[in-house]
């Protein structure tokens, strides 16, 4: 995919490491990674937020573990080891969510287990955590995780407001509002993401034009 993963190795850029995930290299809007959960569970803001936080947690834990083990994992089996590490934390998260709220666990369904195959987590482990210190990897995971949460929330909020007239189950539009059912259907996920990406592209284009 069109992921442009770059990172600097200068020591005084820890703030940059954190911030780049939020905006410049936002995993969803810029790198277009981890699309499946983004589209599938963003039909309400609550689901989107829970999914985002679960993913961010797994990302943080796996980044920390991968970077602390980076000198012990042989190169040939590194991808398999990363996947095993990620799968362990996902299983933990799955059980934790089930313990916290059965309803939430039901509405997210198999998509919690599917965090294992979220390309975002594997790509951070491979591109960043396996080459950097624990502290930097932690910052990177936090930045990317928050970027992911924000993106998911943007999608979830738009879809819930338009598709249901509510946000976090609170009414936004008056009773008579004709909800756009299409927004909570699968097709709405594609459309909403397309429109967000369009907005980003327009913004980028305008900025470039200003610079010239």
Q: Which segment (18-26, 51-59, 137-145, 197-205) binds other proteins by CB under 8 A?
A: 197-205
Please tell me whether residue 69 binds other proteins under the rule CB under 8 A.
no
- Integer angstrom CA distances of residue 18 from 23, 91, 154, 205: 10, 27, 20, 25
Please tell me whether residue 77 binds other proteins under the rule CB under 8 A.
no
Q: What angle do CA 98, 46, 179 make, to 5 degrees?
A: 135
Please tell me whether residue 98 binds other proteins under the rule CB under 8 A.
no
Selected binder of other proteins within 15, 84, 100, 102 (CB under 8 A) = 84
**Please, which contacts does 112-119 make with residues 24 or more away whose CB atoms are closer than 8 Å?**
112/51, 112/54, 114/36, 114/37, 115/37, 115/54, 115/55, 115/58, 115/86, 115/90, 116/83, 116/86, 116/87, 116/90, 117/36, 118/33, 118/34, 118/36, 118/37, 118/55, 119/1, 119/33, 119/34
Please tell me whether residue 73 binds other proteins under the rule CB under 8 A.
no
Selected binder of other proteins within 19, 40, 69, 104 (CB under 8 A) = 40
Backbone angles phi, psi at 55, to 5 degrees: -65, -45
Tell me how far, at minimum, the Cβ of 201 lies from other proteins, in Å.
4
Return the number of the residue (34 or 145) whose C-beta is nearest other proteins: 34
Return the number of the residue (21 or 188) whose C-beta is nearest other proteins: 188
Residue count, binding to other proteins (CB under 8 A): 42
Q: Report 115-174 residues binding other proteins (CB under 8 A).
A: 116-119, 122
Tell me how far, at minimum, the Cβ of 10 lies from other proteins, in Å.
29
Q: Report 14-33 residues binding other proteins (CB under 8 A).
A: 32-33
């Amino acid at each position: 995919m069109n992921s442009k993963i770059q990172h600097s190795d200068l020591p005084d850029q820890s703030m940059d490491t954190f911030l780049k995930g939020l905006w410049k290299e936002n995993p969803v809007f810029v790198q277009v990674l981890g699309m499946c959960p983004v589209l599938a569970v963003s039909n309400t803001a609550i689901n989107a937020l829970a999914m985002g936080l679960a993913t961010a947690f797994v990302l943080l834990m796996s980044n920390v573990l991968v970077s602390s083990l980076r000198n012990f994992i042989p190169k040939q089996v590194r991808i398999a080891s990363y996947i095993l590490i990620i799968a362990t934390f996902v299983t933990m998260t799955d059980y934790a969510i089930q313990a916290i709220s059965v309803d939430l666990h039901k509405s997210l369904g198999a998509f919690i287990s599917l965090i294992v195959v979220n390309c975002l987590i594997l790509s951070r482990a491979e591109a960043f955590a396996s080459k950097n210190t624990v502290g930097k990897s932690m910052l990177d995971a936090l930045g990317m995780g928050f970027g992911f949460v924000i993106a998911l929330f943007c999608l979830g909020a738009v879809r819930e407001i338009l598709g249901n007239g509510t946000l976090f189950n609170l009414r936004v539009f008056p009773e008579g509002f004709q909800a756009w059912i299409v927004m909570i259907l699968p097709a709405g996920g594609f459309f909403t993401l397309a429109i967000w990406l369009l907005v980003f592209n327009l913004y980028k284009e305008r900025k470039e034009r200003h610079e010239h």
